[in-house]
Amino acid sequence: MTPWEIKATEFTNCNCAYGCPCQFNALPTHGHCCAVASIRVDEGHHGDTRLDGICFGGIFEWPGAIHEGRGRCQPFVDERASPAQREALLRIMSGEDTEPMATMFAVFATTLDTVFDPLFLPVDFAVDVDRRTARVSVPGLFETTGEPIRNPVTGDEHRARIDLPHGFEYEIAEMGSGRSVTEGNIRLKLAGSYGQFAHLHLDNRGVVRHRTAA
């Protein structure tokens, strides 16, 4: 198993209501799940291959709840990635070099029936976790944006977080509102739905924890 570790910034927009039932072991809001996930490695490696500054992610679609399987995925990797970086990130995304079910990559990989050939495209990534703002654009594939949830009466920003002491993706995620339009093999239009902003720290064994678990 090749050792790897990444510290990264993530924005994900799915079709569920704010809060996302999946985070609470409940069924998806509309009975099915689709999402656009974008990640930038701030600092990381796979073996001797540095991954700093490279973006990657995927467009996902499941006909029911994620754990029921039959999903489809369109992975993408920043075109700036070298061949070694591309291989490293695809191995991480597919759950390879990872203890069984230790990361969201490994978990989701078990639920996919179709994984389309990865696309290597330019990625314009601007995500601020603390401010809960995001704009990620991959020409010819998708554009996704995120913003704070607004109080429906006052219009003020509303802040909410999810704390998962034993999760397989993050320790704490900020909640926001997302909007996405995708092209290609999986076509989605999402608006005013679950937006997740998070700092990730992952390795072969799962989430690297910095807080005392409850």
* Residues 6 or more apart whose Cβ sits within 8 Å of residue 143: 135, 136, 137, 180, 181
pLDDT of 214 reads 55
User: How many CA within 13 A on the CB side of residue 49?
Assistant: 19
Of 212, 130, 135, give the one whose Cα is nearest residue 174.
130
pLDDT of 131 reads 98
d(CA 168, CA 152): 32
d(CA 171, CA 191): 26
pLDDT of 112 reads 98
pLDDT of 212 reads 67
User: How many CA within 13 A on the CB side of residue 128?
Assistant: 6
pLDDT of 176 reads 98
pLDDT of 67 reads 95
**pLDDT means per 10 residues in the chain (214 residues)?**
97 96 94 98 98 98 97 98 98 96 96 98 98 98 98 96 95 98 98 98 96 64
Look up tokens 């910034």; give the residue.
9
**Which sequence spans correspond to the domains of the chain?**
4-207
User: How many CA within 13 A on the CB side of residue 23?
Assistant: 21
